[in-house]
Amino acid sequence: MTDDDSQPISVLLVEDDPGDVVLIEEAFEHNKVRNSLKIVGDGVEAMAWLQDPANPRPDLVLLDLNLPRKDGREVLAEIKSDPALRSIPVVVLTTSKAEEDILRSYDLHANAYVTKPVDFNRFIEVVRQIDEFFVTVVKLPAHRPPPR
Amino acid sequence: MRRVSVLLAAVVLAGCGSDQPEPKAAARTVPTTPPATATPEETPGPSPTATPRPPARRVIATGLDVPWGIAFLPDGDALVAERSTARVLRIDAGGGEPRRVMTVPGVARGAGEGGLLGLAVSPAYARDRWVYAYLTSTQGDNRIVRFRLGERVRPVLTGLRSAGVHNGGRIAFGPDGKLYAGVGDAGDTSLSQSPSSRNGKILRMDPDGDNVRVWSLGHRNVQGLAWDRRGRLWASEFGQNARDEVNLIRRGRNYGWPEVEGVGPTGGRFTNPEVTWSTSEASPSGAAIIGRNLYVAALQGECVWKVPLDGASAGKPTRMLSGRYGRIRTVVAAPDGTLWVATSNRDGRGSPRDGDDRIIAVRVA
Residue B251 belongs to a domain: yes
Run means of pLDDT, 10 residues per run, chain B, 365 residues: 43 41 38 39 50 90 97 98 97 92 95 95 98 97 97 98 94 98 96 96 98 97 97 96 94 95 90 94 96 97 97 96 96 97 96 96 91
Task: Indicate yes or no: CB of B56 within 8 angstroms of CB of A21.
Answer: no
Residues in chain B closer than 8 A to A22 (CB atoms): 56-57, 362-365
Q: For position B241, what pLDDT does the model report?
A: 82
Residue B141 belongs to a domain: yes
Q: For position A5, what pLDDT does the model report?
A: 64
Number of domains present in the structure of chain B: 1
Sorted by where each starts, the structural domains of chain A and their CATH numbers stand as 3-135 (3.40.50.2300)
Task: Indicate yes or no: CB of B43 within 8 angstroms of CB of A121.
Answer: yes
A59-118 pLDDT per residue, tens:
999 999 999 999 999 999 999 999 999 999 999 999 999 999 999 999 999 999 999 999
Which H helix or E strand runs over A62? strand A60-63
Under the banding of pLDDT at 50, 70 and 90, the label for residue A125 is: very high
Residue B8 belongs to a domain: no
Q: Is the pLDDT of residue A20 over 80?
A: yes
Interface size A-B, in CB pairs within 8 Å, comes to: 52
A98-113 pLDDT per residue, tens:
999 999 999 999 999 9
Under the banding of pLDDT at 50, 70 and 90, the label for residue A127 is: very high
Of A17, A95, A120, the CB nearest to B40: A120
Task: Indicate yes or no: CB of A22 within 8 angstroms of CB of B41.
Answer: no
Under the banding of pLDDT at 50, 70 and 90, the label for residue A4 is: low
Task: Indicate yes or no: CB of B56 within 8 angstroms of CB of A17.
Answer: no
Residue B48 belongs to a domain: no
Return the exposure string of B142-157: e unless at least 16 CB atoms fall within 10 Å of the residue's CB, then b.
bbbbbbeeeeebeebb
Chain A interface residues (partner B, CB cutoff 8 A): 16-19, 21-23, 25-26, 29-30, 41, 68, 95, 118-122, 124
Residue B30 belongs to a domain: no
Of B41, B56, B322, the CB nearest to A17: B322
The nearest CA of chain B is from the CA of A124 a distance in Å of: 9
Q: For position B92, what pLDDT does the model report?
A: 93
CA atoms within 13 A on the CB side of B211: 8
Q: For position B35, what pLDDT does the model report?
A: 40
Residue B47 belongs to a domain: no
Task: Indicate yes or no: CB of A17 within 8 angstroms of CB of B320.
Answer: yes
Residue B14 belongs to a domain: no
Closest residue in A to B54 (Cα) is A26
Q: For position A142, what pLDDT does the model report?
A: 82
Let me know: does B323 contact B302? Beta carbons within 8 Å: yes
Let me know: does A10 contact A147? Beta carbons within 8 Å: yes
Residues in chain B closer than 8 A to A24 (CB atoms): none
Residue B283 main-chain phi, psi, to 5 deg: 60, 70
Q: For position B29, what pLDDT does the model report?
A: 36
Q: For position B50, what pLDDT does the model report?
A: 62
Domain that holds residue B173: 58-362
B66: domain CATH number is 2.120.10.30
Which amino acid type is present at position B309? L
Q: For position B124, what pLDDT does the model report?
A: 98
The nearest CA of chain A is from the CA of B40 a distance in Å of: 7
Which amino acid type is present at position B52? P
Closest residue in B to A27 (Cα) is B56
Q: For position B51, what pLDDT does the model report?
A: 65
The nearest CA of chain B is from the CA of A97 a distance in Å of: 14
Q: Which residue pairs, CB below 8 angstroms and at least 24 apart, start in B234-238?
A: B234/B274, B234/B287, B234/B289, B234/B294, B234/B309, B234/B314, B235/B182, B235/B202, B235/B287, B236/B284, B236/B285, B236/B286, B236/B287, B236/B296, B237/B182, B237/B273, B237/B284, B238/B166, B238/B279, B238/B283, B238/B284, B238/B285
Residue B280 belongs to a domain: yes
